[in-house]
């Protein structure tokens, strides 16, 4: 029995030296039975820690790689006790207890098969909310369990339509944020309006989102933070939809009425400059600014599609070095690109048989792979910070829900209800302290 566990789970532990890249790749793309995992809370009467453990268990089970059992007991002090737990079907166990006067949570991961401690660590309780430091705890433990990055301590944002009070059949929108599992939803833009194209700022110390707001005269960029402050960012003529900021420089790119512009701010002179970056004989939308300064965008310009195999918009890369463009997708109707900084891969939507399906393009080998096949349109995708998940809008008839999918394992879950009409999802960075809306 012990040997079977070692073979089946042999790529799971980061400390095992023979977990090669090939075996890790096989693990990511195979359909495996979930690993049983026991999480033990000690002492038995620590109800607060048990609440944290319950959230931790849900996080660890989310991808389908683990099934977690919770137990409140003392930590085993003898190898014989670990052997007894192994015979009950738990090859791995995590023990939790408060430390540093309850200011931190200590965790220890045991490989029961080998009767050894894999790793132990203290995780400081950052913030005042249990679900926040439970997510931090999951981000601490996950790389040790799987040798993979994680994104538990992040937020999701999306637009939700609601009926206007006193006005029958009229709907307006608000912007919501939630934890990465869809829990603890809050309004970050409570003012009713029309909002699209959400984008998270990369500053982990000042969480905020950008989006496009429709007015009587134009579509402008606004921002909102977790202190309830909403500000106008760019109020220009035309339709401004789609913005992307650089992490390393004071640059941004944005779309304005089918043309992609570059914005540069000089902090010394305290001046901003705008210049046209991409303009041609078509519509250029959905820009993403890469760390190199290159831009991924979507265009239907005939002058850029001369090597395409079909008509319709395609995904294109603009080179900042020589101002050249490269066609990344050559067939089909392709829109909504999202770039994963963690992996360098690009996800997008392509129309097949009248429905939008999700694809992932890998620039390293110039291949793309279809990852959804079911009925319904999957649009507005966005990568998680770890590059393992995609959040997207699933539309089928009158249904418009926000869904999250593990790309490698193809496991999907919905974070909004079927009766709610939600669109335009976006995934935040991973935060040291999971933010929450401060209400006045």
CB 35 within 8 A of CB 146: no
Which band of pLDDT confidence, cut at 50, 70 and 90, is reported for residue 320? very high
Asked whether the predicted pLDDT for residue 324 surpasses 80, the reply is: yes
pLDDT at 33: 82
pLDDT at 165: 72
> Between residues 332 and 166, which one has the greater pLDDT?
332
For range 351-356, the mean pLDDT: 97
Residue 101: partners with Cβ closer than 8 Å, 6 or more residues away: none
Asked whether the predicted pLDDT for residue 317 surpasses 90, the reply is: yes
What digits encode the pLDDT tens for the residues 173-183?
999 999 999 99
pLDDT at 277: 97
For range 364-379, the mean pLDDT: 96
Residues in a beta bridge with 223: 210, 231
pLDDT at 427: 98
Separation CA 176–CA 179 (nearest Å): 11
> Between residues 395 and 43, which one has the greater pLDDT?
395
Model pTM score: 0.90
Strand pairing report for 195-200 and 259-266: unpaired
Give the residue among 356, 360, 351 at the shortest CA–CA distance from 389: 360
For range 365-381, the mean pLDDT: 97
Q: Give the range among 132-136, 167-171, 208-212, 253-257 with minimum mean pLDDT.
A: 167-171
Which band of pLDDT confidence, cut at 50, 70 and 90, is reported for residue 8? very low
139 burial level (CB within 10 Å; 0-12, 13-18, 19+): buried
Residue 425: partners with Cβ closer than 8 Å, 6 or more residues away: 156, 157, 158, 198, 380, 382, 391, 392, 393, 402
What digits encode the pLDDT tens for the residues 63-121?
999 999 999 987 666 667 666 666 577 889 999 999 998 999 999 999 887 878 999 99
Angle between helices 130-146 and 47-61 (to 10 degrees): 50
pLDDT at 82: 60
Q: Is the backbone of residue 202 left (phi > 0), alpha (psi -120 to 50) or beta?
A: alpha
CB 11 within 8 A of CB 25: no
For range 394-410, the mean pLDDT: 96
Asked whether the predicted pLDDT for residue 17 surpasses 70, the reply is: no
Which band of pLDDT confidence, cut at 50, 70 and 90, is reported for residue 11? very low
What digits encode the pLDDT tens for the residues 109-148?
998 878 789 999 999 999 889 999 999 999 999 999 999 9
For range 40-49, the mean pLDDT: 91
B/e letters for 140-161, b = 16+ CB within 10 Å, e = fewer, are bbbebbbbbbbbbbbbbbbbbb
Which band of pLDDT confidence, cut at 50, 70 and 90, is reported for residue 260? very high
pLDDT at 85: 62
CB 40 within 8 A of CB 162: no
Domains along the sequence of the chain with CATH: 2-146 (3.40.50.800), 155-427 (2.120.10.30)
pLDDT at 19: 31
């Amino acid at each position: 029995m012990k040997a079977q566990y070692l073979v089946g789970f042999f790529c799971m532990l980061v400390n095992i030296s023979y977990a090669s890249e090939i075996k890790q790749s096989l693990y990511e793309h195979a359909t495996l039975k979930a690993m049983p995992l026991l999480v033990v809370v000690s002492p038995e009467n620590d109800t607060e820690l048990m609440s944290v453990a319950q959230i931790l268990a849900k996080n660890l089970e989310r991808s389908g790689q683990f099934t977690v059992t919770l137990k409140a007991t003392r930590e085993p002090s003898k190898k014989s006790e670990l052997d007894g737990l192994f015979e009950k079907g738990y090859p791995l166990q995590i023990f939790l207890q408060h430390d540093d006067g309850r200011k931190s949570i200590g965790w220890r991961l045991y490989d029961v098969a080998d009767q050894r401690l894999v790793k132990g660590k203290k995780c400081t309780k950052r913030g005042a909310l249990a679900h926040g430091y439970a997510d931090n705890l999951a981000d601490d433990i996950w790389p040790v369990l799987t040798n993979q990055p994680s994104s538990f301590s992040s937020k999701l944002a999306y637009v939700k339509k609601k009926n206007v009070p006193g006005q029958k059949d009229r709907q307006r929108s608000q912007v919501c944020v939630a934890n990465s599992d869809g829990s603890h939803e809050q309004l970050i833009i409570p003012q009713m309006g029309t909002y699209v194209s959400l984008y998270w700022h990369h500053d982990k110390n000042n969480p905020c989102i950008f989006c496009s707001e429709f007015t009587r005269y134009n579509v402008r960029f606004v921002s909102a933070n977790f202190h309830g402050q909403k500000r106008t960012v760019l109020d220009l003529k035309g339709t401004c939809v789609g913005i992307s900021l650089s992490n390393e420089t004071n640059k941004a790119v944005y779309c304005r009425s089918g043309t992609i512009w570059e914005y540069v701010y000089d902090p010394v002179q305290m001046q901003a400059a705008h210049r046209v970056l991409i303009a041609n004989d078509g519509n250029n939308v959905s820009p993403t600014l890469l760390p190199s300064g290159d831009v991924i965008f979507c265009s239907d310009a005939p002058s850029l599609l001369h090597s395409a195999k079909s008509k319709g918009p395609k995904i294109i890369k603009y080179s900042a070095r020589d101002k050249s463009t490269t066609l990344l997708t050559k067939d089909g109707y392709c829109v909504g690109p999202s770039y994963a900084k963690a992996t360098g891969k690009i996800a997008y939507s392509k129309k097949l048989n009248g429905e939008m399906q999700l694809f992932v393009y890998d620039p390293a080998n110039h291949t793309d792979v279809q990852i959804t096949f079911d009925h319904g349109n999957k649009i507005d995708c966005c990568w998680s910070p770890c590059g393992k998940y995609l959040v997207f809008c699933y539309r089928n008839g009158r249904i418009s829900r926000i869904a999250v999918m593990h790309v490698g394992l193809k496991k999907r879950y919905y974070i909004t209800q079927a009766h709610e009409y939600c669109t335009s999802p976006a995934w935040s960075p991973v935060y040291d302290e999971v933010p929450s809306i401060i209400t006045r």
